[in-house]
Structure 1
């Protein structure tokens, strides 16, 4: 049984927690923007709207957000190494603030579209820079929990806009977004920069001061030496784009993150968020779509918060494969319901199935598959290619998001609602097996140890020595109490064989 003691986990780590909390306020604003179209488009279609729109405008309002994200990829890559992690996050906050102000005072659809594009740009920057910053300032024992704050803040933002968007004016809801970002700019500006980044820029004394603040201690020489050694070794081979594929450890990291980013969206999360009112149409007698959307976001938030508490004790890998399998099951249940309905079977007595399946999806998706990838993004890449690797992974994330939405509409129109959900369910099952066989456990490891794990170097574990070149990853039991039977199985060697070819 896992026992979670808050006092032991977070004792003496207040500066790290404060830096992560203030740094992720932009994610709260991003969540509001991500869920903005669902409650606000009906307001824009009403008679009292400050901005008159057409049906074609609705498509652009939803899609230009993703286009802004794609446009932000090269800009993010440049800023992360040029201006640093902290300053890049502050730039993203300013961009988001401008977007909210444009929406607040918009009188034409053109201004709304400009704001949405700028929002996508800022979100892309934020969701690359923030995980990197948190991973580099955090101690290994709480890195997973602090990294989870990004998703928790985003889900709070979705809940906020779902809760207030339909009931207040557009200007009023925009004021909430402005307030969040002003708070971040007034607080996060005083937080220290990443010690890793400062050492990359040969600012050793500044790195020492930053580490002293973050660790609440003056005695940081040993950790500073360890970080400096890692940065020095990685800077000897400065990252070039091709090294994501030519260097074995980078290739493993990129492969893992590409699969996980596609798994996130091919589990149907963007489809769910943008079409929940259509998906739950049959459940209207039980719960109105507006209320269902709020309940859906609440369940996701609760699941994410529980997982954030468990991620550094249970581990990333366990949460990931359990979440993938259970999410796949919920999607297959939903797909089966739609398949029966499509084939003319009377399902009116079972109109509770979609709401149960969707709420089960919210709980299972956010407990792992919807949370772990963003935590692992900043853990798997070495410092010398971290900006490049995280940005490339973000590009895969945006491509997966766009293609999954297109595929959903195409398959739904041609073959029925059940077909895309069968596909999404199978993709989740595949990602579960991928997590079991390929993904390493990064829980409790420093960023340097994670790189050794990916490179297959010898690591000292406890009182014994383990050759990662031979075993790849930890040998562990997958089924208890059959650990003695299956514990000898070497899943890591299979992973290495796959990724080294």
Structure 2
């Protein structure tokens, strides 16, 4: 909701009857200040997810966001909104790093992809909610809704268990076992507890410095995958679409639906697509969804580029003016089916515990950074060569993402987090139960005996 707040709200703030006086220059800053806050929040996020944990980081994020909504709702001047948006950006960054980590570490491997994909579904729900509510209510209306949502989170979430991985990483085995029992709704968690303990012990034996992201080959491969995937999301034009959809439809000359209606259809389509992908991701795999998504999104953008090329060269395209709207809807469906959803799943799966905070934060930085870069690419190429040129660029980016997926990204469907690390290290990912227990016994023999695992 914070991400999409500016699109329907800024026209209200720039109108004659605006509740707060805002200049055009200030309105532009209200858009960018959120992403600036996200950039400044990166080191704080990096520190908190490892020092206080994933769960407490999410609680901190929800609290900060709620306070930001309160300030926006009662702000007497635009400067107050600047501050609120800045801290909302920091909180959003923290949530987008901590939430995938938390979900990946509590979820059973069979449904980990589905649960991780819910993050983007909720993001899209926030976008659609803002598009549907903000144009028709006072400025404080969507703020009140945001406050209520965060209140619900702050009431319910503190009662949820913390990540067993994080608890074992902090040498709290009893708390980790209790969390596992609550998450699995059974007392029979010994085997999973052993597996997690072995994985944590192996990862603790590895170095956890920032430079190890680049010096260790498996970490470096994970980082390359996530930086390219996060960058490709924006190089596939999603930020351009979300922030310029009205002007794109108007320039296309589509007269079938109003631009505001097209925006609602666009966001609703993405939600339906993301829901479908969340159900398919653990059945068909991450690579299949990425490839299908990239091909269809690339073709959609290519058709739009050709349409604008013909239109700008004097060809009568009136009879085909429905085409851009259809292609934008097809793009929305295909993008969120893979490129726009799979990265948030992979980002929590690929990095080992010792450098997970570093890796996910840098991945998030590439996501934030390229959201700004692609907007600049779009406006620069559009003004210099015409609107068709950036669409050609974005289309080629989609096809390159497909090629990168096929050649470089491993399939993580159905794999434990430990098995994924073995794949990245190019070693045998199949570890027998006896070897796991033997390794666990050699490193935790006293705990092993005390907990009654000898018979197991």
TM-score, normalised to structure 2, is 0.93
Match of 2:130 in 1: 161
Q: 2:234 aligns with which of 256, 265, 279?
A: 265
1:348 and 2:318 aligned: yes
In 2, the alpha carbon distance for the partners of 1:170 and 1:105 equals 9
Q: 2:145 aligns with which of 176, 180, 184?
A: 176
Q: 1:46 aligns with which of 1, 15, 19?
A: 15
In 2, the alpha carbon distance for the partners of 1:459 and 1:41 equals 52
Segment drifting more, 296-305 vs 217-226 = 217-226
**Contact 2:420 2:429 (C-alpha < 8 Å) held by counterparts:** no
Match of 1:373 in 2: 343
1:73 and 2:42 aligned: yes
Q: 2:203 aligns with which of 234, 240, 254?
A: 234
1:289 and 2:231 aligned: no
In 1, the alpha carbon distance for the partners of 2:272 and 2:431 equals 34
In 2, the alpha carbon distance for the partners of 1:302 and 1:283 equals 27
In 1, the alpha carbon distance for the partners of 2:241 and 2:424 equals 34
Cα drift, residue 283 of structure 1: 4.5
Match of 1:189 in 2: 158
**Contact 1:39 1:161 (C-alpha < 8 Å) held by counterparts:** yes
**Contact 1:198 1:206 (C-alpha < 8 Å) held by counterparts:** yes
Match of 2:446 in 1: none
In 1, the alpha carbon distance for the partners of 2:242 and 2:150 equals 24
**Contact 2:40 2:90 (C-alpha < 8 Å) held by counterparts:** yes
Cα drift, residue 219 of structure 1: 1.3
**Contact 2:10 2:27 (C-alpha < 8 Å) held by counterparts:** yes
Cα drift, residue 284 of structure 1: 4.6
User: After the TM superposition, which residues 68-217 of structure 1 pair with which residues of structure 2 at under 5 Å, given as runs?
Assistant: 68-217=37-186
In 2, the alpha carbon distance for the partners of 1:461 and 1:199 equals 21
Residues matched between the structures, number? 431
Gaps spanning 5+ residues in structure 1: where?
1-31, 463-501
In 2, the alpha carbon distance for the partners of 1:220 and 1:77 equals 30
User: After the TM superposition, which residues 321-400 of structure 1 pair with which residues of structure 2 at under 5 Å, given as runs?
Assistant: 321-400=291-370
Match of 2:415 in 1: 445
Cα drift, residue 59 of structure 1: 1.2
In 1, the alpha carbon distance for the partners of 2:115 and 2:337 equals 15
1:319 and 2:289 aligned: yes
In 2, the alpha carbon distance for the partners of 1:184 and 1:355 equals 37
**Contact 1:263 1:428 (C-alpha < 8 Å) held by counterparts:** yes
In 2, the alpha carbon distance for the partners of 1:60 and 1:340 equals 35
In 2, the alpha carbon distance for the partners of 1:286 and 1:58 equals 30
Match of 1:59 in 2: 28
In 2, the alpha carbon distance for the partners of 1:45 and 1:122 equals 27
Cα drift, residue 204 of structure 1: 0.6
**Contact 2:419 2:430 (C-alpha < 8 Å) held by counterparts:** no
In 1, the alpha carbon distance for the partners of 2:371 and 2:307 equals 25
Q: 1:302 aligns with which of 272, 296, 299?
A: 272
SS in 2 for 1:441: coil
Match of 1:479 in 2: none
In 2, the alpha carbon distance for the partners of 1:461 and 1:195 equals 21
**Contact 2:254 2:322 (C-alpha < 8 Å) held by counterparts:** no
Match of 2:442 in 1: none
Q: 1:455 aligns with which of 399, 420, 425?
A: 425
TM-score, normalised to structure 1, is 0.85
Gaps spanning 5+ residues in structure 2: where?
433-456
In 2, the alpha carbon distance for the partners of 1:450 and 1:296 equals 35
In 2, the alpha carbon distance for the partners of 1:46 and 1:216 equals 55
Deviations 1:226-279 (A, max 9, x none): 101111111112311111111111011001111101110000000100000001
**Contact 2:256 2:322 (C-alpha < 8 Å) held by counterparts:** yes
1:420 and 2:359 aligned: no
Deviations 1:317-340 (A, max 9, x none): 100111011101101111111111
**Contact 1:50 1:106 (C-alpha < 8 Å) held by counterparts:** no
In 2, the alpha carbon distance for the partners of 1:54 and 1:459 equals 58
Segment drifting more, 171-180 vs 334-343 = 334-343
1:252 and 2:212 aligned: no
In 1, the alpha carbon distance for the partners of 2:268 and 2:312 equals 30
Deviations 1:14-53 (A, max 9, x none): xxxxxxxxxxxxxxxxxx1111111111111223321111
Cα drift, residue 165 of structure 1: 0.8
In 1, the alpha carbon distance for the partners of 2:426 and 2:181 equals 32
